[in-house]
Amino acid sequence: MNVNRDSDDMFPNVCLTDSSEDDLATEDLETLAFLVRAGREAQQQLRQPQHNIGLRGHQYILEVLNGNPRNCRELFRLEVDAFRALCSLLRSNSFLKDTRKGLTVEKQIGMFTSGCIGAIDGTMIDAVVPAEVRETYRNRHGKVAQNVLCVCDLDMKFTFLYTGWEGSSHDARVFIDALSQGRNAFPMPLDGHYYLVDSAYPCTRGFMPPYPRERYHRSDRQGQRGFRGYKDYFNHRHSCIRNVIERTFGVLKSRFRILRLMPGYKVGRQGDLIIACCTLHNFIRMTSPNDWLFEEWRDMELSPSGRAYSDAAVLGNHPDMTVESARAMAAIRDDIAKRMWEARSGH
């Protein structure tokens, strides 16, 4: 059966398959969580004013970045260092550039991430399963794997994990189940906030996919520099931000090679192992943000910290798949896309 585990603020909520005969001991993870809490409480931060009166545009962004760190967390859902690193990444790889109209990369990111609290995607983790169920775990690439649903914030830390689904399962099916089961405690966004998702996921309140039937990945553009309109430009920006979860997967799998050579434990214990690796990933990110793997994947070109979560996550939420919900989220997407396009064009 599936069970929940409460987690520290900086560690992911998790849901996994329980095996009563072969559980992992939790003492090590509890010790790790204690160390992180102790380290966080030991940090001393200078008090800085939380107002930026009369400033606009790029000057306002600079004032936020140079002011009280809480402003950056509340406005952009990122720590200051993470915001600067994200801008540096997108600028260095030419994903985004300062425009001739004075729209800097920092302002572009600020406009896009003010309501975004993270990204969602599934990833395949090698699995060892009995022969009689092996084919159900075989994914479209022919590998036997678990399809693990992950949520990460924009600082490359996991905030939710859902393990145990067969590799043949579609991402959308795993997503719907994760949200529908109250015991999973999925961290639902508050009104006005959303996760970035890819086209495999539904467009509904709290979850923003790219525009369909428009170019998305950088490779789709084949060196073309121009944009066809606000939808094309939005998808470009969406892709640049959402790939934070692809880079997070890259760091995780590069560091923990056991995830590519899974031992022959029971499926529930394999899920425990995945969760332990993600927990250690978060710990390393918090204590050593300039770790060599994070630096390596920060500049990697890929293919296809505060939270704004609702208390209702504890009770569970059936995803709102109504036409009204889809139209509401599409309207929010249109508003963001058109404002970014107008700002880019200087209108």
Asked if residue 83 belongs to a domain, the reply is yes
The better pLDDT of the pair 18, 345 is held by 345
Instruction: Write the pLDDT tens digit of every residue in 54-71.
Output: 445 567 777 777 777 777
Phi, psi of 152 (to 5 degrees): -130, 155
pLDDT for res 290 = 85
Residues ≥6 apart with Cβ < 8 Å to 338: 230
**Interatomic CA distance for residues 298 and 292, integer angstroms:** 10
Asked if residue 70 belongs to a domain, the reply is yes
Domain total in the chain: 1
Instruction: Write the pLDDT tens digit of every residue in 176-225.
Output: 999 988 888 899 988 888 999 999 999 998 999 999 988 877 666 666 66
pLDDT for res 99 = 67
Helix 267-287 / helix 244-255 crossing angle, nearest 10 deg: 110
Asked if residue 79 belongs to a domain, the reply is yes
Instruction: Write the pLDDT tens digit of every residue in 255-309.
Output: 999 998 898 888 889 999 999 999 999 999 999 888 989 988 876 655 443 344 4
Domain membership of residue 103 as a residue range: 54-114
**Residue 23 predicted with pLDDT over 50:** no
**Interatomic CA distance for residues 230 and 188, integer angstroms:** 28
Banded model confidence at residue 35, pLDDT cuts 50, 70, 90:
very low
Tell me 182's DSSP state: G
Strands 13-17 and 158-166: parallel
Banded model confidence at residue 124, pLDDT cuts 50, 70, 90:
very high
**Residue 38 predicted with pLDDT over 80:** no
The better pLDDT of the pair 317, 147 is held by 147
Banded model confidence at residue 137, pLDDT cuts 50, 70, 90:
very high
**Interatomic CA distance for residues 232 and 227, integer angstroms:** 6
Closest CA to 112 of 174, 52, 194, 176: 194
Q: Residue 56: how many CA atoms within 13 Å on its side-chain side? A: 2
Closest CA to 297 of 141, 152, 146: 152
Among 31-35, 174-178, 239-243, the range scoring the smallest mean pLDDT is 31-35
Tell me 211's DSSP state: P
User: 274: which 2 tokens?
Assistant: 């995945």
Instruction: Write the pLDDT tens digit of every residue in 83-106.
Output: 788 777 777 766 667 765 566 777
The Cα diameter of the chain in Å comes to 67
Question: DSSP assignment of 94-148, as one string?
Answer: TSS---TTS--HHHHHHHHHTSEEEEEEEEEEE----GGGHHHHB-TTS-BEEEE
Bridge partners, 121 (sequence order): 150
Share of the chain above pLDDT 90, in %: 32
Q: How many helices (H) and strands (E) does the chain have?
A: 12, 7
**Interatomic CA distance for residues 90 and 98, integer angstroms:** 11
Asked if residue 81 belongs to a domain, the reply is yes
Asked if residue 71 belongs to a domain, the reply is yes
**Interatomic CA distance for residues 115 and 326, integer angstroms:** 17
With DSSP H G I counted as helix, E B as strand and the rest as coil, what are the percentages for the chain, rounded to 5? 45, 15, 40
Asked if residue 3 belongs to a domain, the reply is no
Task: Tell me the CA end-to-end span of the chain in Å, nearest whole number.
Answer: 56
Asked if residue 103 belongs to a domain, the reply is yes
Asked if residue 59 belongs to a domain, the reply is yes
User: 137: which 2 tokens?
Assistant: 């775990």
Residues ≥6 apart with Cβ < 8 Å to 7: 13, 14, 33
